[in-house]
Structure 1
Amino acid sequence: RLQAPQMTTNVYCWICVLNTFPFFSLLQIALMTVTLFPIRLLMAAFMMLLAWPFAFLASVGRSETTVEPQCLWRRLVDIILKIIMRVMWFAGGFHWMKVKGRRALPAEAPILTLAPHSSYFDAIPVTMTMASIVMKAESKDIPLWGTLIKYIRPVFVSRSDQDSRKKTVEEIRRRAHSGGEWPQIMIFPEGTCTNRSCLITFKPGAFIPAVPVQPVVIRYPNKLFLPIYTPSEEEKRNPALFAINVRRIMAKALGVPITDYSFEDCQLAMAEGQLRLPVDTCLLEYAKLVRRLGLKPKNTEKVLQEYGNRARKLEGQKLGLDDFAQFLDVPVSDMLRDMFALFDEHDDNCMDIREYVIALSVVCRPAKTLETMKLAFKMFEAEEDGAITEMELAVILKTALGVNHLSVSRLFTAIDAQDTGKITFDKFRIFVEQHPDFAEDYLYTENAGLHSGPCHRHQTKPTNGICPDFSPNDHGTIDGLHKKHN
């Protein structure tokens, strides 16, 4: 079964607290909705329309691969568009915005890294600087908005192109090494929106070019340009280390903690499946290794069925590290050894590949509990009757929850009403349909210390929403990686 790592860190998810508004506040909101809001909306829309001809004029004749000199009239258009966008945000309620620090020149820091990313309003720095951003290619075809987007010369990502990610990184690298000819590129390295209570893991895309970056922290109602961060030789070779050190500096400026868990980890912890992960689950560590090894399949259903069929043919035969690597068609590496160790229950250098397939199913489709159980039954069931024993059910559920010990006696007895000593998937499915909270009723009550995560039924509010209560200086995985910025 998945073995618990020595150091565990709770992962907390977003918690929304709804406050009741006083009657006077509700009346005020209603009044402003029918009076002030339409005026603000019309003014913002008018500013967008006003910006379009200027953006269109400045975009005519532009090349996507070369950058033209910033002549006087283009600089004038740039200033006019910034003023128009500022009026638009003013109409939207952003009356006064403070900018602290000096924005670096493109030749000094070709890339601006912004965090935390929490809403669409984070586009304010883009409109104030007219820096380039990374956007999906479909955006440029949107009427009116597409023209404004093309003006800032974004790096477009195409969903239909399988090599789009590689091309995007190459384009960012090309612009970053242009010596300041291209506009700066603004990148939100978190890769998603959070609730601003901490900084989650930075994606390495902004740091692969190995050029100086300028961290920009967004703290409503202002933003702060931090000093330029120039990577060391080691960081140039290791974008992940570069990203970690920049994140530490930004977290310190914001006064918020950091977590090495990513948005994907939070999604897994929050999944509303019928098997809700406990707070000490090892599946989060497993999911990290799956991503780092590139083992998360694109065609999930097809790959899982293929793995399931191959695992069934092995009939519970234990695999060593080399056989495990051959099954996955990957070379043996330190990360693969870490993955193997999670399933090496008795430290005898062997594992049951069926457990790997179950864990992969949970990580790839966490909300589809019955689909995972159907796949597990298929791998474990006896050929003569298509049924499994209580011990086999315990193996399946322990792996699906990512825990070391689990008693399933009450659950198995409840399903096996005829006391045959075996159950089929059809019996399990019917029981689950009749008892949708079977995990809470039969597993958590029978197993002391097994509790669903804070995203679910018995939740307690963490100190800061998504993040556990620890500071950047206390986090063991990044100690010693701090580097002074210049």
Structure 2
Amino acid sequence: MTTSSIKRRRSPHAAPASNDGESLENDNDNNSSRTDSSNSRALPNNRISISNMSKRDSEEDSWASKGYSYINPFVHRIQIDDHIEVAKIYVLTVLLLPIRVVGCVLSLLSAWMFACIGLYGMSMEELQAKPLSGWRKLMQYWTARAMRMVYTSGSFHYIKMKGTPATSKEAPILVVAPHSSYVDSIVVVSGHPPSIVAKRETADIPLLGRIINYAQPIYVQREDPNSRQNTIKNIVDRARSPEDWPQVVIFAEGTCTNRTALIKFKPGAFYPGVPVQPVLLRYPNKFDTFTWTWDGPGVLRLLWLTMTQFYNRCEIEYLPVYTPSPAEMADANLYANNVRQVMAAALDVPTSDYSFEDVIVMSRAREMKIPFPGDIVEIEHTLDALDLLDSKRDMELCEKYLTLANPENLDIITFAELLQVDLKNPDLHKLFALLNHRHKGTVSLKSFLVCSLFCKLKNDEIIEFLRALIKLYSESSEKISRENFTRLMKHGGSKMTEQKTQTLFYALDPDNVGYVSFDKFVQYTEQQPSYKFLYHKSEHIRRTKSSKATPTTN
């Protein structure tokens, strides 16, 4: 089943959020009182409930709404309410953490030493020309063992292995999922060391660069326009070579999730059309202190909480080798989707229409201070289902926004009338619920309009998005006050800091008349190199696709 089919209404008894959040200003200015429970609807069932250790990644009031519940694979929260567990973490921070850090460092140095010995006298060309053998192969094994000790020192004492690992001839590629954190690389060092696909720059990382080189990775050179084709060719050449090349490990999701669903697999592992072995990762621990997602705790907090547990467990399951059919060999996306279905069934989790590209969209929404950036993709799909993405209704509402009575507290009847949508339409109710931030039965028209315009213009220049928002903040584009100019510019991206905005306003208003025009703002910034980002199109961001055309998976 898809993400869209796994949803439920928020309980009417659920506690409301601490902030209003119905207006965009509240979303941006009242972030300090938001609790992490705001995203409980997006968490896996085995999450921990840690209030005094929760991470505040957002400058917004909230990343995601709470009015409508669905699986968001990019949100993770850690909460530990048990005072005994909290006390244990602080005690182990003093007694155990220093020992573990020393153990990790010593293990890493040992792995680096083994790698240096094994690479002695070898050039990069020789390393890529043929697989290692003899004593160099043995040193490669000991390098992997030393790296395994890094994880052991860091609390991962137990790895449960299930299934039968295939040989490199049976399956040249290992497709690993779900991908949820830096810990997932434990699959590389838990057995016979496979290769990885890595950026060429990783070879220059201190310590780790030598270790990665010794794994004989397939390097991707991003400056090479033929990089993807060369990578595929290298994988195919290794797969068909009579020599004993190591397998290649690929995390097919392409980004970290919270393991509540398998998002779309990137097709890179499937272009070669060779058999793959699906590999599942599970972490059956009391606390999930290492999941590293788009919206969640940072890596340092995760490392601290992970290394202050007595131990953590990991399960690696090797599924049977998947041999592609002729149709799958001809269509990498079909191949990827079918392998994902097999892995999702084995994990007993749903598949999701979300992809790595959706993370890019959410990140851009967060940068531009869009309400509920964690929900923006779901909001976009709902707008598409309502045929509002091709409608000019939002622009019409922008024109009259400042003349409307109480636009920040619309009930669903008024909301339906303003959008000119049938009140009985279930997608209208879904959109209303997504925007119903405090579960008070009202939504903010401004929040809706900002979200709607972002979904339409996310590929366009930022300046065009700002132009579309003018009437939400000022009666006239010719006379924008300093206060309203500051409010408008907060949607200009992270480079438009408040200090930079104030400096820009005074540059546009040298006579101190108290207001500026938008056209003057455009004329000025067009000539300034430091404002080029306002005129850059984000062509790399996923373009809107009709949700009606999206096939449903099971």
TM-score range (shorter-chain normalised) is 0.5 to 0.7
What corresponds to 1:372 in structure 2?
464
1:362 aligns with 2:458: yes
Q: Give the 3-state SS of the residue equivalent to 1:227 in structure 2.
A: coil
Q: Which moved more, 1:45-54 or 1:21-30?
A: 21-30
Aligned to 1:172: 235
**1:297-342 alpha-carbon deviations (Å, 9 max, x no partner):** xxxxxxxxxxxxxxxxxxxxxxxxxxxxxxxxxxxxxxxxxxxxxx
Percent identical residues: 36
> How many Å separate the matches in 2 of 1:120 and 1:364?
34
2:174, 2:277 within 8 Å by CA — same for their partners in 1? yes
Query: 1:424 — aligned with what?
Result: 477
**Which residue of 2 is the match for residue 97 of structure 1?**
159
SS at 1:200 equivalent: coil
CA RMSD of aligned residues (A): 3.5
Amino acid at match of 2:380: T
Q: How do 1:192-271 and structure 2 match up within 5 A?
A: 192-220=255-283, 221-269=314-362, 271=365
Listed as ranges, the gaps of 5+ residues in structure 2 are: 8-69, 284-313, 386-452, 492-548
Residue pairs, 1:102-181, within 5 angstroms? 102-128=164-190, 129-179=192-242, 181=244
Render the CA deviation track for 1:363-400: whole Å, top value 9, x for unaligned: 467xx5xx3334xx4xxxxxxxxxxxxxxxxxx57xxx
The C-alpha deviation readout for 1:95-135, integer Å capped at 9, x for no partner, is 11111011100010000000011111111111123111011
Tell me the distance in 1 between the aligned counterparts of 2:325 and 2:482. Answer: 56
Q: In structure 2, what residue type is equivalent to 1:362?
A: K
TM-score, structure 2 normalization = 0.52
How far is the alpha carbon of 1:13 from its aligned partner?
5.7
Distance in 1 (CA, whole Å) between partners of 2:477 and 2:76 is 40
Contact 1:268–1:363, Cα closer than 8 Å, also in 2: no
| Equivalent residue letter for 1:247 | R
Quote the Cα distance in structure 2 between the aligned partners of 1:229 and 1:167. Answer: 24
Matches within 5 A, 1:72-91: 73-91=135-153
Aligned residues: 325
Read off the aligned partner of 1:431 and give its amino acid letter: N
For residues 370 and 479 of structure 2, what CA distance do their matches in structure 1 show?
Answer: 18
Pair 1:48-2:108 in alignment: yes
1:283-432 to structure 2, matched below 5 A, reads 361-363=457-459, 371-374=463-466, 377=467, 412=471, 415-416=474-475, 423-424=476-477, 427=480, 431=484
Match of 2:247 in 1: 184
Kindly provide the amino acid, as one letter, of the partner of residue 119 in structure 1: S
The answer to whether the 8 A contact 2:111-2:144 is kept is no
Separation in 2 of the partners of 1:42 and 1:211?
A: 42
Q: What one-letter code is carried by the residue in structure 2 that aligns with 1:227?
A: P
Mark the CA change 1:432 to 1:43 in structure 2 (over 3 Å): closer, same or farther.
Answer: same
Q: Alpha-carbon deviations, 1:5-52, whole Å to 9, x = none?
A: x99997736334452544433332222112211111111211121222
Aligned letter for 2:154?
A: G
Q: 1:283 to 1:151 in 2, by over 3 A?
A: farther
Instruction: State the TM-score, normalized to the length of structure 1.
Output: 0.59
AA at the equivalent of 1:415: S
CA distance in 1, matches of 2:238, 2:101: 36
Judged with a 3 Å threshold, the aligned counterparts in structure 2 of structure 1 residues 36 and 284 are, in CA distance, closer, same or farther, namely: farther
Whole-angstrom CA distance in 1 between matches of 2:249 and 2:172? 9
Q: Do residues 28 (structure 1) and 88 (structure 2) align?
A: yes
1:212 partner letter: P
Deviations 1:223-247 (A, max 9, x none): 1000000000000100000000000
> Could you say what secondary structure the match of 1:29 adopts?
helix
Q: 1:432 to 1:123 in 2, by over 3 A?
A: same
- 1:67 and 1:364 mapped to 2: Cα distance? 47
Give the secondary-structure state (helix, strand or coil) at the position aligned to 1:209.
coil
Paired with 1:239 and 1:259, the residues of 2 have a C-alpha distance of 18
Distance change in 2, residues 1:75/1:208 (3 Å): same
How far has the Cα of 1:162 moved from its partner? 3.6
CA pair 74-437 structure 1, distance change in 2 beyond 3 A: closer
